[in-house]
Amino acid sequence: MTAIAYRPELPADAPLIAALIDRAFGPGRHAKAADRLREGNTLIPDLSFTAWDGETLVGSVRLWPVAIGGAPVVFLGPIAVEAELRKHRIGQTLVEMACEAAAAAGWRAVLLVGDAPYFGRVGFDAAPAKAVHMPGPVDQRRVLLKALREGGADGLAGLVTAG
Ligand SMILES: CC(C)(COP(=O)(O)OP(=O)(O)OC[C@H]1O[C@@H](n2cnc3c(N)ncnc32)[C@H](O)[C@@H]1OP(=O)(O)O)[C@@H](O)C(=O)NCCC(=O)NCCS
């Protein structure tokens, strides 16, 4: 592995990212509630990052505009790292870069559906998301929020909608 390079997602990256996500999650992946927030939505390219080992795409994280009870936040996902290159903090770096870029762009909080033990390492927590309702069945313990500024996750409640 050479040094990993990180950069925002470009339109031309889309096919490589789709293939990486398919490999990472396997066939039959249907995170229904999260998919509903991505269908018909447009990812934010400046806040979506890719990781490269030379010319090879090895990681991707995507951020989408959503609203919680009408309050705009960004929704993170999917995140995927090529299996052979896991446990080198590529995933954590992608999440941190995306969160920093979102904070710099003025977003108040990041929402995701994922494993708390993993995302807790980078500041995500289920507690502030207790009143956040995903648009579909989901284990509420996996609905996580991270504030991007003091109090950024306070008072967020209601249905999550795309856009
Ligand atoms: C999750 C994923 C993106 C992590 O990428 P990564 O580059 O390996 O992540 P990092 O190197 O930053 O962190 C690795 C650490 O997180 C741990 N970890 C990975 N997935 C975890 C999970 N779901 N729950 C708890 N810990 C997890 C690893 O065991 C490792 O622990 P260590 O540091 O003690 O060795 C990658 O494993 C992946 O693409 N998985 C398949 C797709 C997926 O499940 N996406 C997330 C959906 S919630």
For 132-149, what is each residue's pLDDT tens digit?
999 999 999 999 999 999
Which of 64, 19, 72 lies closest to 45, judged by CA?
64
Q: Compute, in angstroms, the gap from residue 118 CA to the centroid of ligand 1.
A: 6
Pairwise CA distance, residues 13 & 92, whole Å: 20
State how far the Cα of 13 lies from the Cα of 58, in Å rounded to an integer.
Answer: 12
Domains and CATH numbers, the chain: 4-162 (3.40.630.30)
Substitution site in 81, 82, 93 for ligand 1 pocket (most atoms within 8 Å of beta carbon): 81
Which of 49, 79, 86 has most ligand 1 atoms within 8 Å of CB, for mutation? Answer: 86
Q: Is residue 75 predicted with pLDDT exceeding 80? A: yes
For the chain, give the mean pLDDT: 96
Model pTM greater than 0.85? yes
Phi, psi of 22 (to 5 degrees): -60, -45
For ligand 1, say whether the CB of 81 is within 6 Å of any of its atoms.
yes
Mean pLDDT for 9-32 is 89
Q: What does the DSSP assignment read for 29-71?
A: ---HHHHHHHTT----GGG-EEEEETTEEEEEEEEEEEEETTE
Q: Cis (ω within 30 of 0) for the bond into 78?
A: yes
Phi first, then psi, for residue 35 (nearest 5°) are: -60, -35
Stretch (H or E) spanning 21: helix 14-25
pLDDT score of 156 more than 70 = yes
**70 pLDDT band (50/70/90 cuts)?**
very high
Residue with CA nearest ligand 1 atom 43:
80
